A and B are shown apart, each in its own frame.
Chain A
Amino acid sequence: MPEVLKAPLVVEFPFTRSLGPVQSAFLTGLRERTVLGVKTTDGLVMVPPVEYDPVTADELRDLVEVEPTGTVTTWAWNPEPRRGQPLDTPFAWVLVKLDGADTGLLHALDAAGPDAVTTGMRVRVRWAAERTGAITDIACFEPYEGAAAHTEPTAHDGQFDDAVSGIVAAARLDYVYSPGRAQTAYINALADRRTVGERCPSCRKVYVPPRGACPTCGVATTDRVEVGPAGTVTTFCIVNVKAKNLDIELPYVYAHIALDGADLALHGRIAGIPYDQVRMGLRVEPVWTEGGRYPDHYRPTGEPDADYDTYKELV
């Protein structure tokens, strides 16, 4: 069996996240080097401030300002920072209870090594040079010698000029995609401009493209069957909207094509005929371009149209 195909798959998007009022105040505050918390109905101060009380489910809006200094409640030394993490040199992950807060804030601590970190150690915020209103406005924490400030958190109205109302959270994940055995065989055959499906050993239907299993019988398809090259347009639509990343002149016809010998239709573009003359039952054949992994399009064979009854089960 030939090696299965593999290729990188990058899933990446800059998500645009709108913020509720508490989050907006907290993140705008960070931009202004001010750390806000929120007071629960029971009088606890939560930093970072949450929108809803985890115990009572109450909506929380009562903001207070706390100190940028605090105490480590637990930590973990990260010897090999990963992409996107706050520091690119070894650092400690820490939960920090800021002075005036009753809950922990998760962030990074820049320290010389694991021996320089202890639970209970004092730390303070190191502000990022460029701040935009995001959790990364705290560059990290750093060791701090000062004792805990026993000041009561002060009420804060959460109002700042030019408050941030959203964040852009870019996220990238890298995968290595493999389509598995059946589709690898299908794709490899396409490289020779042959369309090879698989037959279900139970119901005898031929699947193109094969997906490894007959979905109605729940058994593996194995027998390879070459189908086509010609086929019948079973149904279609005329596309007047530019599809993303596709450079095809509008309008064009997107069709379901049942290749001869296949028991279900695959999808392709029809060309070589005016778009408004494409019809159900039209007989077509693939047209390949140099280096193309798939037929570029299908064009009429010139045969008479297939009778509706011959393909209506495939529509």
Chain B
Amino acid sequence: MREVAIVAFAQSDHLRTTDELSEVDMVMPVLHQVLAQTGLKTSDIGFTCSGSSDYLAGRAFSFTMTLDGVGAWPPISESHVEMDGAWAMYEAWVKLLTGEVDTALVYSYGKSSPGSVRDVLTRQLDPYYVAPLWPDSVALAALQAQALIDAGETDEPALAGIAARSRESASANSHAQVKGSVPQGDYEVQPLRKGDCPPVGDGAVAVILAAGDKARELCERPAWIRGMDHRIEAHSLGVRDLTDSPSTRLAAERAGAFERPVDTAELHAPFTSQEVVLRKALQLADDVTVNPSGGALAANPIMAAGLLRIGEAAARIHRGESDRALAHATSGPCLQQNLVAVLEGDAR
């Protein structure tokens, strides 16, 4: 397999609302930052891929306008997934593995503030049996949380502990939306309290991938992608064991995550209870640093939060704070679809 690394990462500040910014206004500075980090120009990039959702924007083809921020002239080799940017990165990684190109720009963004995320996400559900009932994303996560509590795998104080640890970690993250000491608050949907839920906000993220010597040239300590895989589960909650995540486990296995221990894990767990599921599926030891960025509980720009996890993990390798990190992204109700990437830095 060809050596491919993440060589640059940038993100916007994650904010509750960004009315003054169009999507391109939000994305463009982040693109400029990753290009500046590597000294590359748009015309030097071999492949560009992005992730976003029309349903967040409330407009069809919303991604076509964001392409303005890339400066796609002369024309570029480019693609888009209607998914979290983590899957855009997967597509770009595969493109690099073909050997056709040596560099790729990947970005994604989520401007959740114009709509009601809880209602918008109901449109992801089975359109015949489930979507007509409008069960919102917090309600579905709460069903999962109760299943975990019933199974004796967690309890409300433990969940509160995850929330507190995440936001405490986020104190060191200047881009985070929610940080520091935050009260758990009332039940949104019992057993999940406000503190167990992710903030709703807007944000953008970008990474640059490069292969082999190009990566070494562009980055002092590239975050090598040792493996990446993603898997999906059955859609209906009623046929799944909500206390487990077999798709995460399988993706991690295929990505080589279990070959030796990781020191860091950035998990895309928008709800505290989902961290419990993921830790178990990923067999994370107690000494693994989980979500040092604060994770999705500190900033959860929909469609960008997964790529953000990968970027945060890569940045720790770039900075020498990690040697082997696992990054995870999720999509769909109650962790239906999961992606795992294993990143490593060269020995120091």
| Chain A residues at the B interface, C-beta cutoff of 8 Å | 1, 4, 6, 9, 11, 15, 17, 19, 23, 26-27, 46-48, 50, 54-55, 73-79, 82-86, 93-95, 97, 103-108, 114, 119, 134-136, 167, 169, 171, 173-183, 211-220
Contacts and interface: CB of A to CB of B under 8 A. Distances in A.
B130 interface: yes
Contact of A46 (B55, B115, B120, B239): B239
Contacts of A173: 55, 58, 115-116, 119-120, 123
Given A173-B58, A177-B114, A217-B71, A135 B128 contact: yes
Given A9-B114, A76-B139, A216-B71, A107 B190 contact: no
Contacts of B239: 46, 50, 54, 103-104
B143 A103 contact: no
B142 A19 contact: no
Given A9-B58, A19-B128, A215 B133 contact: no
B140 to A, nearest CB: 8
Return the 5 tightest CB-CB contacts between A and B, nearest first: A218-B71, A180-B22, A104-B238, A76-B142, A54-B234
18 contacts: A75-B143, A76-B143, A77-B187, A78-B139, A78-B189, A93-B189, A104-B237, A104-B239, A135-B133, A171-B131, A176-B114, A176-B115, A178-B19, A179-B22, A180-B21, A211-B24, A215-B68, A218-B69
Interface in B122-140: 122-123, 127-136, 139-140
B238 A86 contact: no
A175 B114 contact: yes
Interface residues of B, number: 63
B127 A213 contact: no
A229 B325 CA distance: 59
Contact of B69 (A19, A107, A171, A213): A213
Given A50-B236, A212-B22, A217-B71, A76 B28 contact: no
Contacts of A119: 146-147, 150
Contacts of A171: 123, 131
A86 B189 CA distance: 15
Contact of A215 (B32, B72, B135, B139): B72
A77 B25 CA distance: 40
